[in-house]
Amino acid sequence: MDYLLHHLLERSEREHPGKEAVIDRDRRLSYARLAAAARACAAALVEHGARRRDRVAIHLDKSFEETAAIFGVSMADAVLVPVNALLKPAQVGHIADDCRARFLITTRARWDALVEAGAALASVERVFLVDAEGPADAGQRVVPHLYGRGAAFQPKGACLGEDLAAILYTSGSTGRPKGVMLSHRNLLAGSRIVCTYLGIRHADRILSVLPFSFDYGLNQLITAVEKAATIVLLTFRYGDEIVRTIVEERVTGLAGVPTLWAVLTQGAPSFRKVRPESLRYLTNSGGAVPSETVKRIRETWPHAALFLMYGLTEAFRSTYLPPGEIDRRPTSIGRAIPETEVFLINARGERCRPGEPGTLIHRGPTVSMGYWNRPSETAQVLRRNPLISEHEGADTVCFSGDLVKMDEDGYFYFIGRTDAMIKSSGYRISPTEVEEVLMATGKLAQAAVIGLPDPLAGEHVHAVVVPARGEAASQDDLLAECARALPVHMVPREVEIAAELPRSPNGKVDYKRLRAERIR
């Protein structure tokens, strides 16, 4: 029975060893090759002291090496911590330090950049390089040639399905990113559920453009391996690259976020000219797609079923809108995914009536284990089911923090966030984290970051700052500092210079008023 992440790969290797597993640019690797590389990774980790529950950070570009490392960490009974390749050294350091990662898998160039920037990596005992450049350092901290040996390694399988399998870092509304803990059962349930309603099968060829540090992107990889399908890796700059890859690789499925669809429909001439007959489904999550964009996608590629979905890292996926319902309910985020109950609770703790706004609650096998080393924040999100009494037993549900309403037929409609999070292009962005970068320049007395409506990204980051006395703060300089310290999706589109910020009666910055004044 499959109950650990790497069990899926082992089964696909046994049943389809020669099947193409990963297409990485000009490299085509079979399931036998993928499994052998994963075992080599696990062997190296275990040889250098990896123990059950040790955290292993993976900081790589989207590649065959990254896919192998993901399953190799599981084979070593360790915990996967994928790190977005776009993050800057300070953020990589924060993640490694926060989860106390003992091991780091990366490249020579990325490791050198982390060292040069002075990233906080005190907990990292061994650094494994996937490329062959350079010898081990004098202290043997750096180990080259990660995939050079160990293909005969046999996993011990000491973990249970309930054990921690991965920590995915996501921004919070009150500071730096925090790690969402996912068990093996969480990951396998997410894969099983998505395979069910998307009908993913062995013959599928899935185009992967989203990072594996994003639960949506990681799920694509796991579903492909579960079904012994083929995953096509792509890091793109232009929309036409996506269209060309779909055609050349006979792609059957593509997952995206709102900005990806904007790139395709507005910035890719080939999108309107090419009709890739192989493509059978498209999926969206990470924010609402504008109705006009949805219309354009369906008119241009009518043969591809479009699934609009809603989810959160703390519970993976909550709802999906079947393609046949888009015309009837164009603004709906859909109904509950299989094996899951989704309901709404009002301020009185009662189940909402149809049409009544309330907090979305998620119940089911994908509810996460909470936040790494943050028990108080975990307690705010993972709580006892308010609709079940104590004598009926423990039942933990996820409070989403999203305000939602439901119609008479059980379909849900997103209203807004109940916290200060900015959700842009599928990313959850902490205003506090951006504010910290702005304030670190030493040129400001105050900084407030908000999300403003954006037809393509859902929201974009907007900063309003008050210069410190005697300081000349320019928008260009502040934006340049943000670009140096933050990944591109977190950089404000504009830094607005103001004489003061609006305040609430208790003296705090009035973010609601600040935002309302700018969207009139």
Give the CATH number, domain containing residue 102.
Answer: 3.40.50.980
Q: Quick check: is 398 in a domain?
A: yes
Q: Quick check: is 480 in a domain?
A: yes
pTM exceeding the 0.75 threshold for the entire prediction? yes
Contacts of 299 (CB under 8 A, 6+ apart): none
List the one residue out of 230, 190, 183 whose CA is nearest residue 206: 230
* H or E, element range at 341: strand 341-345
Residue 150, pLDDT score: 67
Q: Does residue 65 sit in the same domain as residue 109?
A: yes
Of 159-173, 343-357, 458-472, which has the strongest mean pLDDT? 343-357
Q: Does residue 426 sit in the same domain as residue 375?
A: no
When pLDDT is cut at 50, 70 and 90, the band that residue 501 belongs to is: confident
Q: Does residue 208 sit in the same domain as residue 341?
A: no
Q: Does residue 79 sit in the same domain as residue 184?
A: yes
* Across 383-404, average pLDDT: 89
Q: Quick check: is 251 in a domain?
A: no
**Token pair for 293:** 């964009």
> pLDDT for 5-32, tens place per residue?
999 999 999 999 999 999 999 999 999 9
> pLDDT for 122-176, tens place per residue?
999 999 999 866 665 645 689 887 887 666 788 888 999 999 999 999 875 556 7
Residue 394, pLDDT score: 79
Last residue of a domain, one of 397, 417, 437: 417
Mean pLDDT of the chain: 92
Q: Quick check: is 264 in a domain?
A: no
Q: Using the structure block, give the residue that is written with the tokens 């955290």.
A: 55
When pLDDT is cut at 50, 70 and 90, the band that residue 431 belongs to is: confident
**What is the dihedral angle through the alpha carbons of 406, 412, 416, 420, rounded to the nearest 10 degrees?**
110
Which CATH number does the domain housing residue 508 bear? Answer: 3.30.300.30
pLDDT at 504 exceeding the cut of 70: no
Window from 82-96, 296-310, 417-431, 469-483 with minimum mean pLDDT: 417-431
Task: Give percent above pLDDT 90 in the chain.
Answer: 72
Q: Does residue 368 sit in the same domain as residue 495?
A: no
Residue 139, pLDDT score: 58
Q: Does residue 407 sit in the same domain as residue 431?
A: no
Q: Does residue 85 sit in the same domain as residue 224?
A: yes
> pLDDT for 191-203, tens place per residue?
999 999 999 999 9
Q: Quick check: is 282 in a domain?
A: no
Q: Does residue 477 sit in the same domain as residue 341?
A: no
Residue 177, pLDDT score: 86
When pLDDT is cut at 50, 70 and 90, the band that residue 259 belongs to is: confident
Give the domain extent around 334.
314-417
Q: Does residue 410 sit in the same domain as residue 436?
A: no
CA distance 349 to 484: 45
Residue 416, pLDDT score: 75
Q: Does residue 476 sit in the same domain as residue 382?
A: no
**Token pair for 187:** 């990951």
Q: Quick check: is 274 in a domain?
A: no
Does residue 406 sit in helix, strand or coil? strand
Amino acid letter, 498: A
What Cα–Cα distance (Å) separates residue 40 from each residue in 43, 44, 76, 145, 149?
A: 5, 6, 10, 10, 5
> pLDDT for 229-238, tens place per residue?
999 999 998 9
Contacts of 156 (CB under 8 A, 6+ apart): 77
Amino acid letter, 32: A
pLDDT at 415 exceeding the cut of 70: yes
When pLDDT is cut at 50, 70 and 90, the band that residue 425 belongs to is: confident
Q: Quick check: is 269 in a domain?
A: no
- Within 59-212, strands assigned E span 79-82, 103-106, 126-129, 142-143, 164-172, 175-183, 205-208
Last residue of a domain, one of 385, 417, 449: 417
* Across 416-442, average pLDDT: 82
| Domain count across the chain | 3
* Across 263-287, average pLDDT: 92
Residue 207, pLDDT score: 98
Q: Does residue 408 sit in the same domain as residue 467?
A: no
Last residue of a domain, one of 184, 210, 235: 235
pLDDT at 287 exceeding the cut of 80: no
Burial class (CB in 10 A: 0-12, 13-18, 19+), 437: buried
Burial class (CB in 10 A: 0-12, 13-18, 19+), 244: middle
Residue 472, pLDDT score: 84
When pLDDT is cut at 50, 70 and 90, the band that residue 318 belongs to is: very high
Q: Quick check: is 240 in a domain?
A: no
pLDDT at 507 exceeding the cut of 70: no
pLDDT at 505 exceeding the cut of 60: no
